[in-house]
Structure 1
Amino acid sequence: MSTTAHPVPEVGQEAAPRTFPPMTRTDYVTYQGASGDFHPLHHDEVYARSVGFPSVFSVGMLQAGMLATYVTDWLGVEEIRRFKVRFVDQMWPDDELTCKARVSDITTAPDGGRRVTLELTALRGAGTPALLGTAEFVLDPAA
């Protein structure tokens, strides 16, 4: 376990929401360069329109990374044990992403720590879900 103390939240507790700045095509291309996913749907406007989309859209793992950053900023990167997401909707240029987390369960982990399960939501600027997911952390019971 980490030596960094994180307070053990209570069931039902919600983290303060975090809204990331509007996403840009440059964000998409920067992420594509880091991930190696160069599918033209995410950077080529002409191609995206030719196959029926109104514009390019973000690689879903970019939003997943933002959501993971949000929850690990709250409960600690060294404490995370599981992170799962389901992609619900595309993120378009100029969309903001608002991340939310709620504690859904707390149990005792095998090592005596507290296993904290979160329900996660990442909303597009219009308020519709882009991602839904869960995360599990193990926190020191003395924290």
Structure 2
Amino acid sequence: MTLPTLATQTFTITRADLVRYAAASGDHNPIHQDESVATSVGLPGVIAHGMYTMALAARAVQAWYPGAEVVSFGCKFTNPVVVPAEGGVELEVAGEVKPSGDGLTTVVLTVTCEGQKVLGMPRAVLREAGRA
């Protein structure tokens, strides 16, 4: 059975975004801003905060279902999103709607960067506005 799909949304992540997210979240781990620190611990370069990546996926869900109540939202962080010093990197969020008879809508997400899944088992469970 093929699930109904939602239009893929693309978000560009830049190093400036990481600086702003660090300030907002209080997560100043240097792997998110300093190339030499990131590579010294075995990373391929500066990486986006996992929670920022998850927040962008949640932003996609909000755009698909404005006004819906989020009952649950979760994922696993499976691969880093490497953000280049110049320009940015694109994060793509796709969704499939899983039918439910209990008044809830489950959106199974696929979150990728450069063709690689970066979040494992991402899904949102929603109660659409006006539904009990």
TM-score norm. by structure 2 comes to 0.86
Higher Rg: 1
Partner residue of 1:51 out of 41, 52, 65:
41
Equivalent residue number for residue 100 of structure 2: 106
Number of aligned residues: 125
Q: Which amino acid aligns with 2:28?
A: F
Distance 1:54 1:15 in 2: 32
Structure 2 Cα separation of the partners of residues 32 and 85 of structure 1: 21
SS at match of 2:46: coil
Shift of 1:79: 2.0
Counting aligned pairs with the same residue, the percent is 31
**CA RMSD, aligned part only?**
1.8
Runs of 4+ more than 6 Å apart: none
> What's 2:5 paired with?
14
Which has the larger displacement, 132-141 or 81-90? 132-141
What CA distance in whole angstroms lies between the structure 1 residues aligned with 2:3 and 2:44?
39
Distance 1:61 1:102 in 2: 22
Equivalent residue for 1:117?
106
TM-score normalised by structure 1 residue count: 0.80
* Unmatched segments (≥5 aa) in structure 1: 1-10, 109-113
